[in-house]
Chains A and B, each alone.
Chain A
Amino acid sequence: MAISGAANGPNWIKRTENSPDTIASSVIADPLETSFDVIKEGRLIRHIVGLPSLLLHPTMALCEWSQGNERTPIVTNDSDHIVTESAARIFADLADPQTINRLDNGAWKAPFWQALSDAGLPLAWVPERLGGAGATLAEGFAVLGVAGRFAVAVPLAETLLAGWLLTRAGVAAPNGSMTIAPSRPSDRIIFDNDGTLSGSVIGIPFAAEAQHIAVLAHGEEGVVVALVAASDCTICEGRTLAGDPSNIVRFQRVKPLRYARAPLGLDYTALMLMGSVSRSVQTAGALESILSLSVSYANERVAFERPIGKFQAVQHNLARLAGETAIALAASGSAASTIGQSDSFDETEFFEGASAKIRCAEAATDGAAIAHQVFGAIGFTKEHILHRFTLRILAWRDDFGSESYWAAELGRHVAQEGADEFWPMVASR
């Protein structure tokens, strides 16, 4: 049946089976129900296989499908993906880079986070039985790609990762924003015999804003995953290049809210790879926007009596920027699809994940420089939005292992395996 409830007209979402009378909340009773017909003006316009809690929140249904909505879809991927389209709609409505760049305060953050939470996005990687949306890894990565396109400045990726880390160890994820520690490959937190956590870690993204921290710690009996209240830790002031919180966090005999032994294979490398692929996907999304902004600007900005996009020197710079964007999309997409189809972190995941972080970070370096060259002086002003993208992709290079770190790791691995094993490794992907 068609669902009613929109203020300005009918809704068009119909469940194929077990249709409830109304959809009143973001949590759907039957988690197995994952197939939908979207009906507009009496006509089936598409059949969707996806996640109920991500799909059927009424505000999202309204945004996405309200009658007479002439806005062009922001996501134009071939894969007609309602999860990312819905995410894009929330980003566009409540975290539009142009709008929030004009505001000098964080007043936009609370309603934005609320909308994300209502849509089930921050806990997308938490299974339904543990209170999340139970999205696939691929769906979560797709959302992060869109978040990158909007240079989203809230701990969405961090909360996704925290939810993933906690629930892989069977620890229930709380509501609200989270971050993860450590976020640098060499940092370690110790889990003592008395059940407390100790250690100092640097560069924890959004630690100063997050309510909870998901921690991977070393214990005497192996690796432990713990949930910690951020207020129980000492969090030092710190910011990334882009002005987002990035903090030193000190754990001084902090008692976790809950914890569990990490399952086999969930170790520091797995966390760093998962974080790296997330940052890579975000970087690729941001580069897509940087490319799009740069091309538009080159077509509009007139100098020497013509749009600067008519000059071959500028065209070639933009073609290079397209190349860097393509690299980031291909490398991050390859790694995300690999990890999305796998349940472990082995050689293949390492090869793909490390490559993605290396290439996306390199693309960030070169892509940001080219974009700023295209924009000239206005591009490095505070009032222009370009920095929201360029400074974030430059900052993300350092999270979960820099390109130098992963390159050295990957190089050592390839050297260890030897020349004869090299091509088979590349060709297997």
Chain B
Amino acid sequence: MSRKLQFDQIRLPPECDALRQEVRAFLADEIAQGTFDPHRPGHGDSHDRTFSKRIGAKGWIGMTWSKKYGGHERSFLERYVVTEEFRVANAPVRSHFVADRQSGPILLKYAPEHVKVNILPRICRGELCFVIGMSEPGSGSDLFAVKTKATKVDKGWRINGSKIWTSNAHIADYMIALFRTSPPTNENRRHGLTQFLVDMKTRGIKVNPIYHMSGQHDFNEVVFEDVFVPDDHVLGEIDGAWKQATSELAYERSGPERFLETFYLMLELIRAVGSEPDTRSAEGLGRLVAQLHTLRRMSVSVAGMLQAGKEPVVEAAIVKDLGTIWEQNLPNRVRELTAFVPPEIANRVTLEEQLAFATTIAPKLTIQGGTTEILRGIIARGLGLR
């Protein structure tokens, strides 16, 4: 085995407590004003941009970034607290979350200074929505099969092809996309891909909706026809994007959003079984509680190790593998554990509505952001196999 698995016993530092209370108060206020209903996931406007702007005004977007770019120079652990409180409350964060988690950090690392100064402060104010352009009709988990082509032209690049399964493309201002700038070489099939920042208002971009089986509009197909992207929107090394992709993944994979997606069911389960559950319900609930607690401890640990400058790539992949399977299976467990709960219980309607919603969105949880199969390949490699 190449190395030992490591989960440092990180506890959130005391300064997080005050922040957590502040976030809870803010969310309680928003709920009271009717911005969203914490009991009804998937209802209402999940990409409420005015809400995102209020979150930005609180300083909770781009929390860890430099103040120079509108950030707040707070720790990853503080960001962790904000992220988990928003998830647990079912607050609509779609409009800014991708930019906050992924796109902003990529720009911070690879964008030219004037682009950073222009875009990052607007992300922090909750004004911008980002979309990730990776998958294509012939390229899903196998990213290196990307074919959408960027051809060098005067002062920039001309893009032709299409991206698919692009969440939020229909509401997004910018895409961070992976395009082919050179063919792969015999020695390195990962060669030849470049990351670009694309303004979604550019002429030649067409966004076609693809509806989820849950009825949600999240996915799109994005078609590029002779779309011009200027030279200063190239992110990082030309033909070398594969080197850039992997280092960010630990952040993307281990966050609380990787096991809290169906959390509302835990609360509804507790309400359903009541304060004096029978042994079957109590045992089932207890196991779920222990599982959730352990996942969170692992996730906090990875966040702390990242904050300390470590690279827990395998641990992060393990957190996402275990976390997404857990949140995916939660509707099934809750359904079983409430099977004998009398239907007149007050929360029954809410519970069934939630179960229906969670069951229809469950399949995506182990696909998005790296499938179970890809994650297990990463873990296996980390173990010294392959």
Instruction: Report yes or no: B385 in contact with A295, Cβ–Cβ below 8 A.
Output: yes
The stretch of A86-94, A151-159, A171-179, A328-336 that contacts the partner chain:
A328-336
Given B11, B275, B286, B375, which contacts A410 in the complex, CB threshold below 8 Å? B286
Q: Mark A308-328, 1 if CB is under 8 A from B, else 0.
A: 011010111011101101110
B158 interfacial by beta-carbon distance below 8 Å? no
A34-42, A220-228, A385-393, A411-419 - interface stretch? A411-419
* CB pair A331 B290 closer than 8 Å: yes
Contact of A105 with B by CB under 8 A:
no
Contact code string B252-271 (vs A, CB < 8 Å = 1, else 0): 00000000000100111011
The answer to whether B1 and A407 touch across the interface, beta carbons within 8 angstroms, is: no
Question: When the two chains form their complex, are residues B380 and A407 in contact, meaning their CB atoms are under 8 A apart?
Answer: no
Chain A contact residues (Cβ within 8 angstroms of B): what range?
35 or more
The residue among A288, A411, A423, A426 with the most chain B CB atoms within 10 A of its own CB is A411
Per-residue CB contact flags for chain B residues 305-318 toward chain A (1 = under 8 Å, else 0) read 00000000011001
In which size bucket is the chain B interface? 35 or more
Residues of A close to B384: CB separation below 8 A = 295, 299
A295 CA / B379 CA spacing, docked (Å): 12
- Please state if A322 and B318 are interface contacts (CB–CB under 8 Å): yes
Cβ proximity bits A64-87 to B, threshold 8 Å, 1 near / 0 not: 000000000000111000000000
A76 & B4 in contact (Cβ 8 Å cutoff): yes
Q: Which residues of A contact B217 (CB under 8 A)?
A: none
| Contact (A407, B275) CB under 8 Å given A315-B380, A319-B376, A330-B298 | no
With A406-B286, A411-B282, A415-B282 already in contact, the answer to whether A322 and B379 are too (CB < 8 A) is yes
Please measure, in the bound complex, the distance between the C-alpha atom of A77 and the C-alpha atom of B239, giving whole angstroms. Answer: 39
Known: A412-B277, A426-B293. A334 touches B9 (CB 8 A): yes
Contact B9 A403 (CB under 8 A): no
Q: B215 contacts which chain A residues (CB < 8 A)?
A: none
Residue of A312, A318, A412 with most partner-chain B CB within 10 A: A412
Given contact pairs A355-B293, A418-B270, enumerate 12 new A-B contacts (beta carbons under 8 Å): A77-B4, A310-B386, A315-B386, A326-B315, A329-B5, A330-B297, A359-B291, A406-B290, A407-B285, A419-B271, A423-B263, A427-B84
Residue of B nearest to A357 (CB): B290
Does residue A231 face the partner (Cβ distance < 8 Å to B)?
no
Interface contact B282-A412, CB-CB below 8 Å: yes
Given contacts A423-B88, A426-B293, contact A327 B322 (CB under 8 A): yes
Q: Ordered nearest first, which 3 A-B pairs have the shortest CB separation?
A: A411-B286, A407-B286, A411-B282
Q: Which residues of B contact A334 (CB under 8 A)?
A: 9, 293-294, 297
Query: Do residues B376 and A359 form an inter-chain contact, with CB atoms below 8 A?
Result: no
Q: From residue A138, how far is it (CB to closest CB) to chain B in Å? A: 10
Is there a chain B Cβ closer than 8 Å to A358's Cβ? yes
Total number of residue pairs linking A and B with CB closer than 8 Å: 178
Whole-angstrom distance between the alpha carbons of A128 and B286 in the complex?
A: 39
Are A355 and B294 in contact (CB-based, < 8 A)? yes
Task: List the B side residues contacting A78 at CB < 8 Å.
Answer: 6, 8
Give the B-binding residues of A (Cβ under 8 A).
76-78, 288, 291-292, 295-296, 298-299, 309-310, 312, 314-316, 318-320, 322-323, 325-327, 329-331, 333-334, 337, 351-352, 354-355, 358-359, 362, 403-404, 406-412, 414-416, 418-419, 422-423, 426-427, 429
Are the CB atoms of B286 and A326 closer together than 8 Å?
A: no
A297 to B282, CA, bound (A): 40
- What B residues does A404 contact at CB under 8 A? 283
Contact B293 A414 (CB under 8 A): no
A374 to B26, CA, bound (A): 51
Interface-centre pick from A295, A310, A352 (highest chain B CB count, 10 A): A295
Nearest B residue to A320 via CB reads: B376
B343: Cβ under 8 A from any A Cβ: no
Residue of B263, B284, B301 near A330 (CB, 8 A) is B301
The one of A295, A309, A414, A429 in contact with B297, judged by C-beta atoms closer than 8 angstroms, is A429
Contact status B287-A403, CB under 8 Å: yes
In the complex, what's the smallest C-beta–C-beta distance from A324 to chain B, in angstroms? 9
Residue of A nearest to B24 (CB): A424
Say whether B296 contacts A426, CB under 8 Å: yes
Closest to B269 in A: A419
Known: A291-B1, A315-B376, A410-B289. A331 touches B294 (CB 8 A): yes
